[in-house]
Amino acid sequence: MKNYYTILGVSETAGDEEIKRAYRSLAKRWHPDKNPGRPLAEEKFKEIVEAYEALSDPILRRRHDLRLQYGRVYDPGTIFYTKSKTEEKRDRRRAPPEYSEGFLRWKKEKQDRDRRRRRVLLVGMIIAFIGWVTAAQLYESYLDDERKLADADAERRLRIAMAEHDAQQKRPGVIENLDSPFDPVFGDDGYDYLTPNTLVVDLGKLDAVVCLEQADAPFRTIRNEFVYGGNSFSLTNLPYGSYRIKLCTGKRWDISRSMLGGKVKGAFSSGQQFYRVEHEPFVFIKPTSNNPFPRSADTIALDPSAVRLVPISEAEFFNLPKNATIK
């Protein structure tokens, strides 16, 4: 059974805004227009939309939560064991006592009554079990019908969302939140969909391209996201490792400009500056037998009053050789 919270990279107690932010981030990353010729991206996009539609609707989210809880009710490791003290006492007896004929007849009648009670109880349990199985099958059939309706509605909304996205893409000169302008330089493969690692970033007043860079060699930049000032966003499905943040900030992103000899389409029209955030690395470690549930989420507020921003050169920001010439 699908866990929509895991698909969006949020907790089961996440609020509507957190779910919406996670959906927007993943939808932009996996939209078919940004991943031409990749069938896996299209399937992933449909799965993301399906998860968002289910969690954004209170009724569908409640049903999803009930299905998750239903799968956690039974614990196959539970062991029920009782030991009869009557049998222990009986074994310790040296010889059975002699009973009167009336007592033996009463005892036999009592045993017959007990057998009849057990037989009735067994038949009742079988009938109850059959009724429970029938009810479960009916309920599963009902859930199948609900899922089919939800899938049809999700597909309809997906078509609407894709049409709206296509309309937005036709607008010239616009960059959206969570676009990745530095992908031609850094690449866009910084995802591990088997991990729940998440880093929440609260941005200051200036617009910025926020980059997540490995804290150890080879210091590769695995993610870059453009974010308008004052917004908060989540970097989800981060691979295991340690990371630090660097920024490219300024005013008014202009896509008619370029950097690195045209490799980067766009640049800030004024006040462009490169920084590295002086902060201890964010560490996401793999689960081990000693630590099966390592911390998989962290957060940082990029407020100059809370963290120090160290200016760096453009060559250092883009991990260019020291003797490289930037045109």
C-beta pairs of 266-269 under 8 Å, 24+ apart in sequence:
266/175, 266/181, 268/207
Cβ–Cβ < 8 Å for 212, 223: yes
User: Residue 285 corresponds to which tokens in the numbers above?
Assistant: 């470690």
First to last CA, the chain: 53
> What pLDDT does 78 receive?
43
Q: What is the pLDDT along the chain (327 residues), one digit of tens a residue?
A: 788 899 888 988 888 899 999 998 998 888 888 888 888 888 899 999 999 998 889 898 898 888 888 776 544 454 444 445 566 556 555 555 566 788 888 889 999 999 999 999 999 999 999 999 999 999 998 898 888 888 888 888 888 887 776 665 555 567 888 999 999 999 887 888 888 899 999 988 889 999 999 999 989 999 999 999 989 999 999 999 999 999 999 999 998 899 998 899 999 999 999 999 999 999 999 888 888 878 789 999 998 888 899 999 999 999 988 666 666
> What pLDDT does 156 receive?
85
Amino acid at 45: F
Instruction: Provide the CATH topology of domain 183-317.
Output: Immunoglobulin-like (2.60.40)
How many helices (DSSP H) and strands (DSSP E) are in the chain?
8, 9
User: What residues pair up with 246 in beta bridges, in sequence order?
Assistant: 211, 276
The reported pTM is: 0.47
> What pLDDT does 165 receive?
66
> What pLDDT does 82 receive?
46
> What pLDDT does 27 receive?
87
> What pLDDT does 89 receive?
59
Q: How many CB atoms lie within 10 A of CB 238?
A: 25
Cβ–Cβ < 8 Å for 8, 50: no
The boundaries of every CATH 2.60.40.10 domain in the chain are 183-317
The boundaries of every CATH 1.10.287.110 domain in the chain are 4-73+139-169
85 φ/ψ angles, rounded to the nearest 5 degrees: -75, -25
CATH class belonging to 4-73+139-169: mainly alpha
